[in-house]
Amino acid sequence: MRSACILSGGKSSRMGRNKAFLPVAGLPNIRRIVETLRPHFPDVCLVTNDPEAYEDLGLPMTRDRYPGQGPVAGVHAGLLLARFDRVFVVANDMPFVSAEVALRLVELSEGYDAAVPEVGGQVHTLYAVYRKETAPHFEAVLLEGRRRMVDVYERIRVRYVRAEELGLTPEEAERIFFNMNTPEEYARALAWTEEGEVQK
């Protein structure tokens, strides 16, 4: 069995408004992500420090146990909340989440503590699969006063996954791992949807 956990704890300072609720192809982005994952993951949950804003999604929710400590704290909270051992973790600012890619990452995580895409020279730590039992390693890093995902990776068995292993062309990978942090990036996401790009 598998879980999916959406991280929605960022401040959206560069965007100027909450990225989770930006409309993409007629739906708030957070709802797009939920509707993409829900048919394929029996457990979908959310990490947010503003749970009231997300009540209508009907998801199990939790806050960061270590507020203000960035993605490591968000993943840690999500792993504690998730019901199943393999947890697909994704940030709320990724408008083209692919269930097919998420499921492939779950498969590729077998024998490892994490399966993390490394595409175009970038490691996508918040579009990755982690085992629930790695939560203590995330907490240990936080208790040491560190906040980088790479600090966690030094403690666990990570499989880095290339786009080819996910069956993606460079163009598909660019879109699927795209995240929108600025108004310009949001405009690009909207342009993609207007061009009728079909997510894998």
98 is in an annotated binding site: no
Residue 11 annotated as binding site: no
Q: According to the annotation, is 113 in a ligand binding site? A: no
Is 64 annotated as ligand-binding? yes
Q: Consult the annotation and say whether 93 binds a ligand.
A: yes
Q: Please tell me the distance from the alpha carbon of residue 54 to that of residue 21, in angstroms, as a whole number.
A: 10
Which residues does the annotation place in the binding site for GTP? 7-9, 19, 64, 93
Which residues does the annotation place in the binding site for Mg(2+)? 93
Which residues does the annotation place in the binding site? 7-9, 19, 64, 93
